[in-house]
Amino acid sequence: MASACGADTATGPEAPAGSNGPVRFRAEDVRWLLDLMAENTVSPFEGGDPSGIARAQELFAAGAVRRGLALKQRTCPPADFLSQPGVPEQVHQAVQGDPEGFLGAQPSVVVGMGDPQPADRRLVFNFHMDTVGPHVPPRLDGRTVHGRGAVDDKGPGVAALLGIAAAFAEDPGLAHEIEVQIASVPGEEGGAMGVYGTRWLVESGVVGRLMVFAEPTGGRSLDACSAAMTPQVSVTGDDSTDDHPYDGHNATLALSLLACSLTDRLAPIAERLGAKVCVAGLHTGMSHNRVYGSGRLRLNIAYYDTAAAAELARAVEESLPAARAELLERYPDNPVARRLAEDWTKVVRLDWLKRSLPPLANRDPEMEALLASCGLPRHDGVADGSAFTCDAIWAAGPGRYVVTCGPGTLDGNGAHTPTEHVRLDDLETYATRCRDLVLRFGAKARLPRTDDHCSRKETPAR
């Protein structure tokens, strides 16, 4: 497919990673991973340089071509793609003024092997190239890779690609039976929620019968992902000084009261619905001799179904008038609260920075059995709280089974911390299982088809 944002510069195939036995990272594979990790791809929503993604994607595409994969596309969405519902406010703010420039610096890359096939004969892997901040340069300590992106998510992406290459090296006939693609996307971290990476590719047709998001899950397949919404309560009133402390709209009082009120109201509902509430940042100011009339409070609420999201959103909206009533009841004659109480509806407001995102919940006995046969068994991440929010939420659809599945774990491997690391042994195990998954997916495709997977009904989720 022609590139919408640039051209492929990689040339010259080299022998793919091992076949017949476990897939091993050769020295050149380790160097490739370290080079990818050395590129600073911290999300622009966490202070990163947006241009880092484009450099890393060129490096990824070149390495993929050297390992026998073909560049399928290097694309970015048009500016009006972000006019859809569900785009976080911070994304709108980032593209404001120069949407083409921002999106052009955040391309998605798709590489693959095999002849073009319909979606029911296609297997798609996905990983994200962006990372959280700050950037941590890579280093190799024995058989352990340290640095940003080691386990979340460059290491799993490279491992999946080596597994794909090994499968086609072991069975070249696969090229005429199935198509396997691996997508490297931006915009997963920093609250961007994949709206201009994974969502763009899915709506462009980068979908398959089985879609594996190579996130760290301990090698287990999780077929549910939470979505998240972010309410922000702001106070925009008048400041004052310690000489006249009762003349200001005391934002510190308002937001601290709201933080407690929202905790009281939301936590029991979230527990009942299996959701998670994070009472996050509150900011007004730092000086000791000033009354701050402006400030903001943010929450993040993760949920597994849309009914739960609606109930929690109603509870958030009901909390503002309830907090004012509490203020009047607790401080009826208190001069610190007087002006705030009088002007509450004028200076206190609720905005949704992120809302209306779809959670992922799907089941598919046939694909579950296939994954389990390769050592990637299904795990109910909702039941034990191990499921998490990621951009896989955009991939669900008729005829598809979507899972997150990768090496290592977020907590155990220090993802999002300065100690992020992954063992090469774990990456090689995952690469081997990805190879086996491709081989068995191909074997299944060779069987006579008795139904049309693209038109069959989905198995209902929980």
Same domain, 287 and 374: no
Structure tokens that stand for 35 in this block: 């080079």
Residue 4 included in any domain: no
Q: How many domains does the chain have?
A: 2
Residue pLDDT, tens place only, 269-308: 999 999 999 999 999 999 999 999 999 999 999 999 999 9
Residue pLDDT, tens place only, 429-460: 999 999 999 999 999 998 876 554 443 444 44
Same domain, 196 and 328: no
- List strand residue ranges (DSSP E) for 24-106, in order: 70-75
Is 217 in contact with 379 (CB distance < 8 Å)? yes
Residue 45 included in any domain: yes
Same domain, 205 and 236: no
Is 214 in contact with 125 (CB distance < 8 Å)? yes
Which H or E run includes 429?
Answer: helix 424-446
Structure tokens that stand for 290 in this block: 């000033």
Same domain, 197 and 247: no
Which residue range forms the structural domain that includes residue 120? 27-226+359-446
Per-residue model confidence (pLDDT) at position 285: 96
Q: Considering the chain, what percentage of its residues have pLDDT values greater than 90? A: 90
Report the half-sphere exposure of 252 (CA within 13 A, side-chain side).
Answer: 14
Same domain, 330 and 390: no
Same domain, 316 and 416: no
């990768």: which residue's tokens? 406
Same domain, 364 and 307: no
Same domain, 214 and 289: no
Q: Which residues pair with 217 in a beta bridge?
A: 409
Same domain, 206 and 83: yes
Same domain, 163 and 296: no
Domain edge (last residue) among 305, 320, 354 = 354
Is 211 in contact with 400 (CB distance < 8 Å)? yes
Per-residue model confidence (pLDDT) at position 385: 86
Same domain, 295 and 149: no
What number of other Cβ atoms are within 10 A of residue 415's Cβ?
23
Residue 329 included in any domain: yes
Residue 129 included in any domain: yes
pLDDT over threshold 60, residue 29: yes
Report the half-sphere exposure of 373 (CA within 13 A, side-chain side).
Answer: 15
Residue 391 included in any domain: yes
Residue 19 included in any domain: no
Domain edge (last residue) among 306, 338, 354 = 354
| Residue 427: partners with Cβ closer than 8 Å, 6 or more residues away | 25, 145, 155, 156, 158, 159, 407
Terminal Cα distance for the chain, rounded: 38
Q: Residue 206 and residue 110: Cα distance in Å, rounded? A: 8
Structure tokens that stand for 387 in this block: 């499921």
Domain with residue 349: its CATH number is 3.30.70.360
Residue 18 included in any domain: no
What number of other Cβ atoms are within 10 A of residue 322's Cβ?
16
Q: Residue 369 and residue 373: Cα distance in Å, rounded? A: 6
Per-residue model confidence (pLDDT) at position 79: 93
Residue 460 included in any domain: no
What is the rounded average pLDDT of the residues 6-32? 65
Same domain, 128 and 221: yes
pLDDT over threshold 90, residue 388: yes
What is the rounded average pLDDT of the residues 84-96? 92
What is the strand order of the sheet 348-354 is part of? 276-283, 294-303, 227-236, 348-354
Domain with residue 126: its CATH number is 3.40.630.10
What number of other Cβ atoms are within 10 A of residue 134's Cβ?
12
